[in-house]
Amino acid sequence: LITGEENMLLMADLHHLPKQQGRRAAAELLQRFDLVEAAKKPASTYSGGMKRRLDIAMTLVGNPRIIFLDEPTTGLDPRSRHNMWAIIRELVTDGVTVFLTTQYLEEADELADHIAVLNNGKIAAEGTAEELKRLIPGGHVRLRFDHPDTYQMAATALHDVTRDDEALALQIPSDGTQHALRSLLDRLDSEGIEADELTVHTPDLDDVFFALTGPATLPHQPKENVR
């Protein structure tokens, strides 16, 4: 069984590093990815998170400027996933360009500077997370009031609102931009109305994905013969 350290040294050999340089690089990367205590243990016994860290450490032996990560957090628990996010952010800070594929849209939102949404092998849309979210309608501002009279005043003063009389809340379509929020607040101020709670809701990348890729389709089923 090959240990984590042996895997690192094999990668150093593949990159034709001199023996001492390879050992030094392996030791530094094992330290960086918190694998020193497990270095002498078979890599096959590592947890999922440790295996992912070892994979990235092995990739970095050759000091690449571009790396590809294919769903690096699949199957990881939340703590290990966040640890992996920290590693990826550190790589980017160090100047490494990371191409990341993921099914976790929260992950793309957290990590990616530029996102491409794929549908049937083709790019359906691309841009920053915020640019993609602005493609999808449904953003709104929710105002909640403690007093029914104030709620009624706001409902009368504002246009194109959706009322929730039970919760004393109004929903106003908005793209969530600073200009839109300022316009809404200026309107409330001019009427002497103060909301007790204001929340901004914008579409997330899940909404973007579903809107761009459409509903899931079932495989074609042969029609039954009717006699």
Burial (CB count <10 Å: 0-12, 13-18, 19+), residue 26: buried
pLDDT in tens, 161-197: 999 999 999 999 887 788 989 999 999 999 999 999 9
Distances (CA, A) of 157 to 150, 151, 168, 190, 192: 11, 10, 15, 10, 10
pLDDT in tens, 83-142: 999 999 999 999 999 999 999 999 999 999 999 999 999 999 999 998 998 888 778 899
Range 13-29 average pLDDT: 95
Range 198-209 average pLDDT: 89
Q: Rounded distance, CA 25 to CA 63, Å?
A: 10
User: What ranges do the domains of the chain cover?
Assistant: 1-59, 140-203
Asked whether the beta carbons of 205 and 133 are under 8 A apart, the reply is: yes
* In CATH, 140-203 is 1.25.40: no
pLDDT in tens, 208-226: 998 888 754 434 443 333 3
> What pLDDT is recorded for position 159?
83
